[in-house]
């Protein structure tokens, strides 16, 4: 029987993983909630700290900005309150016909607000780092 063809492991495993839907991942950033990272088992934290130290050592010379992370979700435009609308770059007001209309930051009317989803700020569903350890989900039985 001939040997199976050799398939090399990916040379971009992190990209491969983050290109799929993953909590905290966007096209450009990966957010790891501190409360969850600090709740990992000790060995995981030790490995994670080593990886972060390597990352910061290799790229610490670059001009890193400060980041403001805002918990957000994709929500229907019509479900947002005034504060969420403003944060997402929209306003709602009465149009010339007396009906509520939604406008984007370019002052253009949104044609179908009932089906238009925007990334809007929400209350953070995860506890803060000061909240203590968060128990992980139990492992599935073998």
How would you write the pLDDT of the chain (142 residues) with one tens digit per residue? 766 666 667 899 999 999 999 999 999 999 999 999 999 999 999 999 999 999 999 999 999 999 999 999 999 999 999 999 999 999 999 989 999 999 999 999 999 999 999 999 999 999 999 888 888 888 788 8
- Residue 116: predicted pLDDT: 97
Q: For residues 127 and 119, what is the distance between their CA atoms, to the nearest angstrom?
A: 21
Give the start-end residues of each E strand in 77-130. 91-94, 100-103, 117-121
Give which of 87, 78, 76, 71 is closest to 125, Cα–Cα: 71
Q: For residue 84, give the nearest of 128, 117, 125 by alpha carbon.
A: 117
Q: Is 48 exposed, middle or buried (0-12, 13-18, 19+ CB in 10 A)?
A: middle
Q: What is the pTM of this model?
A: 0.75
Does residue 80 contact residue 116 with C-beta atoms inside 8 Å? no
How far is Cα 6 from Cα 104, in angstroms, rounded to an integer?
Answer: 52
């Amino acid at each position: 029987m001939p040997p199976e063809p050799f398939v090399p492991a990916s040379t971009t495993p992190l990209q491969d993983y983050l290109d799929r839907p993953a909590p905290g991942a966007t096209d450009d950033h990966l957010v790891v909630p501190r409360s969850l990272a600090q709740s990992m088992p000790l060995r995981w934290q030790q490995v994670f700290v080593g990886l972060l130290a390597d990352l910061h050592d290799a790229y610490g010379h670059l001009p890193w900005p400060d980041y403001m992370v805002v918990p957000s979700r994709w929500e229907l435009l019509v479900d947002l309150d005034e504060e969420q609308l403003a944060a997402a770059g929209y306003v709602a007001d009465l149009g010339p016909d007396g009906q509520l209309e939604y406008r984007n930051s370019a002052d253009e009317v949104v044609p179908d607000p009932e089906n238009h989803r925007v990334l809007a700020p929400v209350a953070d569903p995860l506890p803060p780092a000061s909240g203590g350890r968060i128990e992980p989900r139990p492992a599935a039985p073998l």
